[in-house]
Amino acid sequence: MKRRIACLLNCCLVAVTVLGCTTATTAMPADSVEEEAPVEAVTEAEPKVPTFSKERWKNNHAKVRGLYITGPTAGSEEMDDIIQLIDDTELNAVVIDVKDDNGNITFDMEGNDMVQELDACLAYIGDMPALLDKLQEHDIYTIARIPCFKDPILAEGRPKLALCKPDGTPIVDGKGVAWVNPCKKEVWEYLVSIGKSCKELGFDEVQFDYVRFPVGEDAEGADYGVTVTPKNKHTFIEEFLSYACEELHAVDMPVTADLFGTVIGSEIDIEQVGQDYHELASTVDALCPMIYPSHYGPGNFDLDVPDAQPYETILAALDKSRTDLSSVDEDKCAVIRPWLQAFSAPWVEGHIEYGGDEIRAQVQAVYDAGYEEWILWNAANNYNADGLEPDENKKDAEH
């Protein structure tokens, strides 16, 4: 009834305008009075109003000190050891593969039609709700890792979304893994649907990885269906993450993104992968640069072998981060939460073995650079307490 009254009032205003009165502020053509479209426009759905506040989240979320966890580890008894490690140390968070690098959803994601239609579930984790309940009982902050555009399952199940060359040949990376087209809205919708399912399950945060363009000789011949150049690549990544934030903020879910540490302050790297560190800092809620010392070649930061100097490398990378983001409004700037190296890199000439001392050196560099959060990466999930401080607050709570 109220909408009908509103519509009648709107028609009266239009009629008054047509008669030349000045009480209405917008003039309309006389024949529009008899048309339904202007009246129907009053009843159009209102745009989504985000329930999420970036400022509030930044001030109140857990300051993450986390570990990366694969689906197989999360679904095994080994997870009990990891929970104990977190209970005993300064750690307080886990980043769990909800979707792995091969496109598999690591548990049975019931209720997600897009995932079910693709038959994308490989249930390494037998009972995700029970696992999340257990983690929350231990006050562990849960982050859902979702690799984006590296996805052979989506590429095979929806060939029109696969990234291909003009002759239809799929684009694959150096390991032969197919990618999907980062410019396709349908791909964005699939990824966001997974994020929404994670919110429904009770995850605290969504973290998008592989949120970039592919690199390599094969990728040079990709047909994106739209004009993509080195100069505009970053706009597609920003548009996707803006869309993801709009959709997920509407359900009160924070959005974070992984990116190469080498893009910080480097136009060449930005043009290759489309990750603009400065621009993305005001798009998402947290940025997780992968600043592993093994990722930097000889001479970076004036270091002969960055891998052999973990403290100096992390400090230099984060000092560069602070410089790059100095012009971003503090209220709008993402939390900076770097990935740190918890593995040795024997493929790097002059590398050193990484143990507790090297991990602690990196963590200290994060703090000395003025940042508060960090995550450790070990692909095999081989973690122990070496280099981690005991959490005295946790111990006090037990007594």
**pLDDT averaged per 10 residues, the chain (length 399):** 40 36 35 38 53 93 97 98 98 98 97 97 98 98 98 97 95 92 98 98 98 90 95 98 98 97 96 97 98 97 98 98 96 97 98 98 98 98 97 59
Per the CB < 8 A criterion, the answer to whether 212 and 222 are in contact is no
C-alpha–C-alpha distance, residues 396 and 26, integer Å: 67
pLDDT for 175 equals 87
pLDDT for 14 equals 35
pLDDT for 50 equals 56
Domains, the chain: 2-41 (no CATH), 55-398 (3.20.20.80)
- Smallest CA-to-CA distance from 263 within 317, 215, 343 is with 317
pLDDT for 21 equals 37
Per the CB < 8 A criterion, the answer to whether 332 and 356 are in contact is no
- Smallest CA-to-CA distance from 276 within 250, 238, 240, 243 is with 238
Radius of gyration of the chain (CA): 25
Query: Could you write out the DSSP letters of every residue in 149-170?
Result: SB-HHHHHHSGGGB-B-TTSPB
Q: What is the pTM of this model?
A: 0.86
Per the CB < 8 A criterion, the answer to whether 59 and 254 are in contact is no
pLDDT for 42 equals 43
CA torsion angle 97 103 106 110 (round to 10):
120
pLDDT for 49 equals 57
pLDDT for 47 equals 58
Q: Measured over all CA atoms, what is the biggest interatomic distance in the chain, rounded to whole angstroms?
A: 85
What SS3 state is found at 111? Answer: coil
Give kind and range of the element (H or E) at residue 193.
helix 185-201
